[in-house]
Amino acid sequence: MVKNRGSIFIVITIIFGIIWPFNVYASGEDQIPIRLIATVSHQDEYEGLYHLGFLDTKALQTENIKEAEELVRPSVVKIAAGNYNGSGTIFELSESRMIIVSCRHLLQYDETPSITFSDQFSIEGNVIYLSDQTDLGFIEIKPQEIPMQTLRNCKKVVRNSDEEQSVKDGTELFHIGLGSQTLSNTYSGHVLDPWKFFPEFNAFMIHSRCKGEPGMSGGGTFDLKGYYLGMILGGKDDETASLPLSLIEEEWEKAFANIS
């Protein structure tokens, strides 16, 4: 706890040191002003950003699809595993690790996944959990292995625990994933059934009237305030199926018990 507060204090001190001129004058007649220069480690700066909440996504107060798209875009990543391409979202961030959730059918092969962030920085990740119940897996990346300019742009998804905001028939939503393009693709639509069983996935899913495309599997399904509703797994024509957040959180609890 002391270390965390110390990291925050260091970051704040440096910020004020930049905007508040503090001069130390040399002795003698020249009186040359000397500005003090300080620096912090990568880990200290990251912990400062983390504890100050700069890596959290803040949901919108009112629905706005354009603003919501921009809000969640930094949480979406591209994943390549061998000859397969898909998407993922930043599900958790802590002082020591970043956790990305994606689909098992992309991560199940004996291939080290490559993660590409929104600024096109790529890094290999470590698959730490594959569900034996649902089409889901978690990837871990160490924050200290990611450049600070990339970390500053990363955001984890925001999850709404308010039951009144649960997914209902007709809820407007959008999918966002990398697809086959360099830039993320976004499609909007609405919920047809918030809890429909799909035998193909052996799970209850969010059934939506919304377009998807190859490569978007593992991407995010969001409402118009930017709340994370679930993960895209498949689709046909203009209908898609997304694994609900509640089932993802159940799997996360199992994974956390194994990796904590």
Secondary structure (3-state) at 98: strand
- Which of 40-54, 87-101, 193-207 is least confident? 40-54
pLDDT of residue 240: 97
| CATH 2.40.10.120 residue window(s) in the chain | 60-260
More confident residue, 43 or 206: 206
Per-residue pLDDT tens for 13-62?
Answer: 444 444 444 444 344 555 656 555 555 688 888 888 888 887 788 899 99
Q: Is the pLDDT of residue 1 over 60?
A: no
pTM: 0.82
**pLDDT number for residue 37:** 53
Q: Among 191, 203, 254, which Cα is nearest to 233's?
A: 203
Mean pLDDT of 222-236: 95
What residue has token string 């990568």?
42
Share of residues in the chain with pLDDT > 90 (%): 60
What is the average pLDDT across 66-77?
Answer: 94
- Find all residues with CB under 8 Å of 21, minimum gap 6, and list them: 35
What CATH number belongs to 60-260? 2.40.10.120
Let me know: does 115 contact 79? Beta carbons within 8 Å. yes
151 Cβ neighbours under 8 A, 6+ residues apart: 46, 49, 55, 143
Residue 46: per-residue pLDDT: 83
Judge residue 257's burial from the number of C-beta atoms within 10 Å of its C-beta, 0-12 exposed, 13-18 middle, 19 or more buried: exposed
Looking at residue 183, its pLDDT comes to 54
Q: Could you give the angle at the alpha carbon of 182 between the alpha carbons of 178 and 185, nearest 5°?
A: 40
